[in-house]
Each structure stands twice: as structure tokens, then as C-alpha cells.
Amino acid sequence: MNVNEIKHDGLKKWLADFISLTTPDAVIVADGSSAQYDELIDAQVASGLATRLNPEKKPGSVLYLSDPSDVARVEKRTYISSITEEAAGPTNNWMDPAVLKKEMTELYRGCMKGRTMYVIPFSMGPIGSPISKIGVELTDSAYVVCNMMIMTRVGEKVLEQLGTDGYFVPCYHSVGKPLAEGESDNGIWPCAPMDKKYISHFPETREIWSYGSGYGGNALLGKKCLALRIASVLARDEGWLAEHMLILKITSPEGKSRFVTGAFPSACGKTNLAMLVPTIPGWKVETVGDDIAWMKYGSDGQLYAINPEAGFFGVAPGTSDESNHNALVAASSNTIFTNVALTEDNDVWWEGIGYDAPGKLIDWNGNEWIQNKADKSQKPAAHPNARFTAPAKQCPSIASEWEDPRGVPISAILFGGRRPKTIPLVHRSHDWNHGVFLGSIVGSEVTAAALDVKAGTIRRDPFAMLPFCGYNMGDYFQHWLDVGHAAPDQDKLPKIFYVNWFRKTAEGKWLWPGYGENSRVLKWVFESCEGTAKSVDTPIGIMPTIDAIDRPEGVTEEDMKELLAVDIDGWLNEVADIRANHYPKFGKHLPGELATFLDTLESNLKAAK
């Protein structure tokens, strides 16, 4: 399909204007076909930008190594450019949209000279679903096109759904490195200097402008940019939820199934939980989505969710057969790897894969690397935020409902983060509004997925949406309260839980084994939704009794008491931190109801002391 065949007048004009600004040498419409995908991959392998992997070990797969400055989300260069700074809120970077658009327009001017512009029509969610949205990304990166073909539904069927006047989210992207006459990339990952990178969102006009980065979340504009930052604004205005959440299906030995969503910051076990292999006999967990959930009320008054993505953009380091067998299988073929290490027989390796490096490797910087366990200062062979982009349909745990256009009915919502102390293994809110309070105070250790925040520190990450909310987060809290109030049937609202797989002893040892053993917590969540769970009311919410959760091997009764204890002093410190450093950020935008919940929590804790 060529550009002249596009029937949508608004899309044609928008495209023509950007072609005139960026002056590409050619324009190609992404049709979503395997033939076009293979052609693009072949060209990148020929140029040296990609390495084809061993067809016996990773058929249909390739490896890319990025520029060292372009390895993760760049939060300091990510903007919510609403008309006013107050509308963006205190947790977002803001720039006046007129100023930002003027600056970025000049950066775009002529930036695709010597390159091809690709037009990517894509659907977030099953094409035609009442919960789905359409976007169109213009990019000069074939790497982006190939990733988007895995991560979203791309091609002519999307344009057919769009019709002649349908709504789409316009997405501009360029790697920001125009080529001189006769110049080629020569296998070098193109990107702009850090001070020229921009990942910009314009909430009022629903636009995404990205420049200077080729990395996933900055360049695959269907992912965090549309699916969360712009979609959260659409959700606010249209009365639904766009969330940084996995979706899983859990089935009991009796054959009853429930669907659960969960919000966790990056590298806090979200993908592992979505693809979990249960350790409890008779229980089954299946995957609907590993990262994003869009939720709307159905005609029956229940909240339904779709996974708007079609693939997994997972963190490779730490992914092993033990931690996530299903992810390894999903990424065993037809997968794009970024910034992992290359073995001598053209397979991939990373830290935490479950076995030692097999001889001499090429590390993510392109240098020879030999594992030396005795050298504690040895730099990793794979970047800590190295990724795999794999088709969701290849996941052996994928649920049959994962592409149901109606979505799946949600029974429970989990919030969680990486916390070594204070937060218990699991507790449940008393009701929806109390659950919104729990979501608003989530904190987690920072990970390598955020390039410019120091790893290992604790930061509040409400709803795991801190880097992804497209407007004032205080208003976002209110939107969650409003969605609860608007429920057609309050009894059908999902129950809300707060979980923490990452508790440690004073000596730094894990109290809970995690991974597949988390199915034991999911069983209690399931039973809570059924009304059969053994529970006790506490100052922080509803918790399991000591014998309510089946103990894994190696976890003692004393461990369970520690995991399920209410740390009064620790929680009072939480209250003090929230009161002094977290809630004041939101000023008049903080819902008064949440401040009341904080007062009640403090009162309950003091009464129990």
C-alpha cells in the first residue's frame, strides 16, 4: 500500500505536512505483513545495525545494540505539555506547548533527509474493540517499525477501521540524525545528544512528538506514550481507566476462573506474575497482558479490561526458567533483543538467565567479555534494562480470552512495589475508596528502567503511574474515586489489594521465595473475591490469618508471622513521610477523601500501639 491509497483526508494532510517539514527521501506505509517485516530486518542486518541470531536456537530473531546514551526511558526529557503547568501537575515535567512545538519543529526540519519515513497505522487493542484506540506513528526508524509490528496491530485493517474520518492519535518520531549526501548509518544506532532528546505529549490536542531517541518507551509511541500518558487523559475525559497493569486469569481446581489486574513499577515482578506457573496443585494461571490494562464498565455493570498491546517488551536480565519460564518460551523465536550479550554461536545471554556465560561473549557495548565471578567490579555483559520484544501469541500461558474485543471481567486489582520492610506480604482494602488510598501511597525501590533516577532509592510511585500519568496526578486520584462512584453496581467493583513480594530479614535475606510461589497469595486473593478467605481486620486493612496462605517449603511459621505482621512503627513512619513529603505535592488537587484516610490510618495505628 502506498501513501496515495490512504482515504482519510485528515491523515493525508497531516502526513503531507510532516513530509514537507522533515524531507525524507522515501515514504513507506507499514502494512503489518510478515514479508515487509522480513524485508526490514534483512536490510538492518545487511547494514550491520542488527545481528541475526542462530536459527536453531532463536529462529527468526535478531539482536540490536543501542547507543550507550539511549538505553532507557529518559524521564527528565519527557514532557506533559498541557496548556498550563498546573494541569500537568507536580510529578510531570512541563513546558509551554507553543514554546516546545516551536523548538521541536525546528529539530524536525529536514531531520529525515537521506532516510525513509515509515507510516505506521496501529491499533491499541483488538481492531474494532469498543475499548481500543487507533494511532498513526511517523518514524524514520526501521527498528521502531519492526517493534511496533510485534507490539501492536499494524497495517491495512487498521486503516480500514479508521475509515475516511475516524479518530486517531497523531504520533511523530525521529531518531534525530539526518544523513549527509552518500552517508549511511554503518551499523551505528542513531540518536541525538541527550539535551536534544524530547518525548513530548500534548494532552489537549492528543499529540505525541518524540525526537532523538530510538529506545523502546521513547520511540515505540504506542507503548507508554499513547497507552498511558495520552490514554490516561482520554480515560479521564471519557470515564474509563488506562493503567500500568498486568492482566491475568486464575482458575481454581474446581474450574472457576477470575481475572486480576496488577500495577507494579518496572522490574518489580509484573511480567513474572502475569506469566506465573503456579506451585499449588490444581491451580492455573494464564496471561492476558503483562504491562497495560484499559478498563471500562460493561453492560452488566462490571469493569472489563483489555490488553491494548500485542506483544511483550520485557526486561531480559533476571528472566530465567525459574523466574519466568513462559517469558523465555515466548521469546524463543521471532523476537527482537536489545542490549543483551551475544554468544559465540549467535545466541543471547544475560545476567540472571539461570546459567553461567558460555565462553567468550560480545557485551552490549560491542566488546569482548569473559565472565569473571571473582571480579565483583566487572561490568555486566547485558545492560540492566536490556529488553526482548516478543509476540504475545507465542506465550504458552496466553489465555484464550486475551484478544476478546469485549475485554475480561475484573474481580481484583493488585498494587505493589519493591519494599524490603514495613509493607506486608498482602493486605486488602475495606472498599474501593480505601483501595484508591492504598494505590495513592505506593512506594518502590527505583530500578534501572529509569535512566536518570538513582537506582536503589525509595520513591512514591502512586498506582505505578508516576512516569506515565498524562495530567495532574491529584486529579488522577480523584478520577479513580469518580470511576468507583460511577459504578453501575457497587457490589461488582473489583476488590483492591496491596502486595509485596520483596520483604527481607534484618540480615538481607528474602522472607518470601516469590516467583511461582506467589500463586499462594493469588489463591488467597481468589478466595477473598469468593468470600471464603480466612481474614482478620487490622489497622491497615484486611489481612490473611497466619494459616490462611499455604506456606511454601522453607518458609517457617515465624516467617509468616513476620510477613503478615503489622509493623506499627514502620507504618507510622510511612504516614509521616506521606504527610510531609508526598501528599503536599498535590496541594488543592489532592482529594480530601484521601487525606481523611491518612488521618484514619494514623489513628488506627496509634490505637493499636
Catalytic residue list: 268
Collapsing DSSP to helix, strand or coil, 120 comes out as strand
Which amino acid would we find at residue 408?
Answer: V
386 annotated binding-site participant: yes
Distance of alpha carbon 366 from alpha carbon 141, whole angstroms: 21
91 annotated binding-site participant: no
Distance of alpha carbon 347 from alpha carbon 58, whole angstroms: 7
418 annotated binding-site participant: yes
352 annotated binding-site participant: no
Helix (H) or strand (E) holding 342: strand 341-342
**Residue with grid cell 512495589, as numbered in its chain:** 417
516 annotated binding-site participant: yes
266 annotated binding-site participant: yes
Residue 604 sits at the vertex; the CA angle it makes with 598 and 605, to the nearest 5 degrees, is: 90
Instruction: Indicate if the alpha-carbon torsion angle 459, 464, 468, 469 is positive or negative.
Output: negative
215 annotated binding-site participant: yes
217 annotated binding-site participant: yes
207 annotated binding-site participant: no
346 annotated binding-site participant: no
128 annotated binding-site participant: no
Grid cell for residue 239: 470515564
201 annotated binding-site participant: no
469 annotated binding-site participant: no
520 annotated binding-site participant: no
Collapsing DSSP to helix, strand or coil, 386 comes out as coil
Distance of alpha carbon 455 from alpha carbon 78, whole angstroms: 19
244 annotated binding-site participant: yes
Task: Give the residue among 156, 165, 168 at the shortest CA–CA distance from 222.
Answer: 168
**Residue with grid cell 499449588, as numbered in its chain:** 280
Which amino acid would we find at residue 51?
Answer: T
Phi, psi (rounded to 5 degrees) for 228? -125, -60
78 annotated binding-site participant: no
Grid cell for residue 119: 507510516
72 annotated binding-site participant: no
Distance of alpha carbon 300 from alpha carbon 315, whole angstroms: 37
479 annotated binding-site participant: no
Grid cell for residue 114: 537521506
153 annotated binding-site participant: no
Order the strands of the 62-64 sheet from edge to edge.
50-52, 62-64, 336-338, 387-391, 311-315
Which amino acid would we find at residue 66?
Answer: S
518 annotated binding-site participant: yes
Task: Give the residue among 189, 177, 182, 253 at the shortest CA–CA distance from 216.
Answer: 189
Q: Which residues pair with 362 in a beta bridge?
A: 342, 368
DSSP sequence for 21-41:
HH--SEEEE----HHHHHHHH
115 annotated binding-site participant: no
Q: Which residues are annotated as a binding site for GTP?
A: 267-272, 387, 418, 515-518
Q: Which residues are annotated as a binding site?
A: 73, 215-217, 224, 244, 266-272, 291, 385-387, 418, 515-518
Q: Which residues are annotated as a binding site for Mn(2+)?
A: 224, 244, 291
Q: Which residues are annotated as a binding site for substrate?
A: 73, 215-217, 266, 385-387
